[in-house]
Structure 1
């Protein structure tokens, strides 16, 4: 696993030890960023199930100003900290050990807003529609912000989510990436 492009290009990242996480592959990660605009001038990125921090680090490497990386596993948080340290820009990252729902509610209480939110929960624990609705209810996405959902190929996400517009969906065999634009 490596950073594909941008400021941290070609830096290798450690995976989370064990089998509790499934990292986004470099191929899928590169495709996601090609779909949403490969480089950014700024913005805030949230990875709600960060695992190794791979996708959030890629986002900052490509120009996002800040990435918030959330995971509930101790091993994942330890790995994220090690991977963020390789960037030598730890001030561009917030690392939070928390359950996803609790983290979203805390962000809502604090009035936090994001330009891009990435959801890639463990495939057996997917609650994409519920999370999309909670993100909307808590006003966590900026207007025209993006919600990116990575699911397994058995999940068929709706194209009619309230206050979201489906703008792209790609199938990568076992993985499907669905991208929504927030209309609120």
Structure 2
């Protein structure tokens, strides 16, 4: 697993040991950022199911100003912190061990909003629609922001969730799919 592009291009990421997380493959990560970027001029991102931190670190490498990482697994949190330290991104990040709903609630209390939200929960525990509805209810996505949901191909996310519309969908290797949402123009 490596950083695909930007200032840390080609550098290796440490994976989370064991089988508790499923890392996003380099191919899928590259495709995601080609669809939403590929580069950024600042902005804040949220990596809600951080895992190894690969998605958020890729965003930092491509120019996002700051990323908040959340995961409920202690091993994942440790790996995220190690990866951030090795890339020199400690000052550009915050890392929290929490479940998704509590994390979103805490971010709402801080009155934060994001230009990029990355959702890559464990495939067998997905509650993406509920997460996206909560993100909308809490006003966590900027009006010009993008929300990326990585999920199993068997999960069919709706074309519209609240005021968000699915603007892109891709599937990979018969197992992984990516849906990208933006606010509708209406």
Normalised by the shorter chain, which TM-score bucket?
Answer: over 0.9
CA contact (8 A) 1:128 1:149 kept: yes
Alignment correspondent of 2:178: 177
Partner deviation per Cα, 1:147-171 (whole Å, 9 max, x = no partner): 1000001100100211102110001
Distance apart, 1:183 and its partner CA? 4.4
SS of 2:160 mapped into structure 1: coil
CA contact (8 A) 1:3 1:58 kept: yes
Count of aligned pairs: 184
The residue correspondences of 1:29-68 to structure 2 (distance < 5 A) are 29-68=29-68
Alignment correspondent of 1:158: 158
Runs of 4+ in 1 over 6 A off after TM superposition: none
Cα distance in 1, alignment partners of residues 184 and 106 from structure 2: 22
- For the aligned residue pairs, the C-alpha RMSD in angstroms reads 1.0
Q: Please, what TM-score do these two structures have when normalized by structure 1?
A: 0.98
SS of 2:30 mapped into structure 1: helix
Cα distance in 2, alignment partners of residues 136 and 127 from structure 1: 14
Q: Please, what TM-score do these two structures have when normalized by structure 2?
A: 0.97
SS of 1:82 mapped into structure 2: helix
SS of 1:143 mapped into structure 2: strand
CA contact (8 A) 1:159 1:166 kept: yes
